Amino acid sequence: MCLASIWAYRTLAYDKKRAQTNQWRVPESTLHFLETIGGWPGSFIAQRRFRHKTSKQSYQFIFWIIVVFYQLVAFDYLNNWKYLRGLAAFSG
């Protein structure tokens, strides 16, 4: 997760520099992929530090969905997978 955060941070910094010079940009799907594989903390820091993608609502919506997903998984883990096991029992 640490490497994914560093990768996401550097990619957002790179994208910001490209945006300032009107060059080809990193696709948002790539940025969201990096966040999904664990880079959301690095992406969050980069967004604030470089003021990049902070006002684009569609980007922020997906970013925060990813963050909430990670928080829910962490919460369930701390509760010994109580909710995931309950969901599995309900559906099976």
DSSP conformation letters of 8-67? HHHHHHHHHHHHHTT-----HHHHHHHIIIIIHHHHHHHHHHHT-SSS-HHHHHHHHHHH
In a domain, 58, yes or no: yes
pLDDT in tens, 32-74: 999 999 999 999 999 999 999 999 999 999 999 999 999 999 9
In a domain, 60, yes or no: yes
List the domain range (segments joined by +) for residue 43: 2-66
pLDDT at position 90 is 81
How many domains is the chain partitioned into structurally?
1
pTM: 0.88
pLDDT at position 92 is 65
In a domain, 73, yes or no: no
In a domain, 6, yes or no: yes
Angle of helix 82-91 versus helix 57-78 axis, rounded to 10 = 90
Q: Report which residue type is found at 48.
A: R
